[in-house]
Structure 1
Amino acid sequence: MNRMIGTAALGLGLMAMTATAQDMMRDIDLSSPDMVSAEMTRGEVEAVLALATAAAPADFTGKRLSGLDLSGLDLSGAIFRAARLNKTKLAGARLDHAVLDQAWLLEADLTGASLKGANLFAAQMARARLDGADLSGARIAADLTGASLVGASIADARLGADMRNQSMGLMRAVLKSANLERLNARGADLSRVDLEFAILKGVDLTGASLKNAQLGAADLTGVTVIDADFDGADLASAKLIAPIGLDRARNFDKARNRDRMIRE
């Protein structure tokens, strides 16, 4: 009963904090057992997966799975809504079309994982490792502050704010101070995304939307921007050195603070 009450209270807390534009860590004790422990073993997780079907996918809603080693598991289509996966090892795991809405993945290791078409709405992923991960086609309205996505893919993924549905506040990806070096962001929706201080060296932004994105002090050295849309993007103190295809970028003349960019 106490665990049920605690889970319900956490759920209410998550919804309340979602309304403050993804500030879900306020008033949460990140060192509490609820956030750092696991109530299942890897074997028990595998047993749940073995019983899953397309009609009844594995459901780990609200489960405490922090610190487990789930590397290499096929978790495709599994539901992890509001689950705690802090510092969980998911390297090489398959999470295609998985539901990770409101999940906690602080400092989780998703190196080389596949999250194609996954849903990551209001997920907390600060300092998570996603180097080489494939998030193509995913919906990512997550806080990835300080995360590493070196060599990863967000091709055709939706990270931007859907301005038709913002009743809970501005929900979009936050990649502040993230390492996105050599990221494949072709065709990605990055509108209104927070990319301040992010490292985007060598990122492929071909056909991406950067409308109203926050790029203050971001390192855009060597980025490919063919057909990328910069309408309203804030480039204050952004380092734009040796970009590829800038003459073919869209609405670059409508970007804000172009006079404050760093060019060499």
Structure 2
Amino acid sequence: MRALAFCAALAILAAGPAVAEQDMLLGADMTSPAMTQAEMSRADVEALIAQAKARGGPVDLSGKALSGLDLSGLDLRGANLRTARLNRAALRGTDLSGANLEQSWFIKADLSGARLVAARMFGITARDANFSGADLGRAVPIGDFRGASFSGANLAGLKGGADIRNQSMGLMRTVFVSVNLSGANLRGADLGRARLDYADLRGADLTDAVLMGADLSGANLTGANVAGADFKNADVAGARLVDLKGEDRARDWAARVNAERAITRRRE
């Protein structure tokens, strides 16, 4: 059932952004025990981590139901959490660096202050999750983060752009619709063709970020640093482009889409 739900989500993502943002949960029963309950305790998880360390490898929690657990502060570096369910789980300050989070579920999970450096997040569903202050440097978040908070988070070097070299997956993208990215570090982040419509990017550092073909319609970039950022074909309809830093050094600034519909002055 989980595999079918994920395949359906991939098909929706490939079909187009307007459909993708609405139907990532297509086919998934979010009220089922598999999505809302845990099959083990924190103590059980700690025991598995200890056993894995004794063997000299990372813990394997793939496919486990861990929703609602408090796993804050645990060392889950390199852990295999592929297809695991951690909805509403607490992972405050947890180290998930290099972890495999592909096709996993983190809906309304609390990952504030967590480390997810270079984490693999292809196909992740993390709607309304809290990543405030988390470190996602060089992570690969190709998934659904609609409504999540990355306030003050480090996303430098993030690899969230669509891979246009792979035609079968060419439209897979990061969905940051209505996401809070205020004050986030997005230096050098690849968000090409990403969904950033209605995102809060106030004061964000977008230095050298790739926004080529991204949907920034309705986004708020007030006070953001856009020096060196690539805006080629980025849709800025209704976006607030006020008090930008480094605007004169942004790349392909004149190649924005719907530039005449952007808000460039403060409302009195």
Q: Which residue of 2 aligns with 1:71?
A: 72
1:89-133 per-residue CA deviation (whole Å, 9 max, x = no partner) reads 000000000000000000000000000000000100000000000
| Structure 1 CA distance for aligned equivalents of residues 169 and 24 of structure 2 | 12
Q: Post-superposition shift, 1:52?
A: 1.6
- Give matches, 1:162-181, under 5 Å: 162-168=163-169, 170-181=171-182
Q: Which amino acid aligns with 1:89?
A: A
Q: Post-superposition shift, 1:65?
A: 0.2
Equivalent residue of 1:140, what SS? coil
Q: Does 1:144 align with 2:136?
A: no
Q: Which residue of 1 aligns with 2:135?
A: 134
Q: Which amino acid aligns with 1:259?
A: E
Q: Post-superposition shift, 1:56?
A: 3.7
C-alpha root-mean-square deviation of aligned residues, in Å?
1.3
Equivalent residue of 1:20, what SS? helix
Contact 2:163 2:169 in 1 (8 A): no
Equivalent residue of 1:136, what SS? coil
More strand by share: 1
Task: Mark the runs of 5 or more structure 2 residues left unpaired by the alignment.
Answer: 14-19
Q: Which residue of 2 aligns with 1:47?
A: 47
Equivalent residue of 1:120, what SS? coil
**How many residues of Structure 1 are paired with residues of Structure 2 in the alignment?**
256
Contact 1:20 1:169 in 2 (8 A): no
- The percentage of aligned residue pairs carrying the same residue is 48
| Structure 2 CA distance for aligned equivalents of residues 257 and 24 of structure 1 | 27
| Structure 1 CA distance for aligned equivalents of residues 49 and 140 of structure 2 | 23
1:114-172 per-residue CA deviation (whole Å, 9 max, x = no partner) reads 00000000100000000000000111102110001100011001011011124246211
Contact 2:164 2:170 in 1 (8 A): no
Q: Which residue of 2 aligns with 1:115?
A: 116
Q: Which residue of 1 aligns with 2:2?
A: 10
Task: Mark the runs of 5 or more structure 1 residues left unpaired by the alignment.
Answer: 1-8
TM-score by length of 2: 0.93
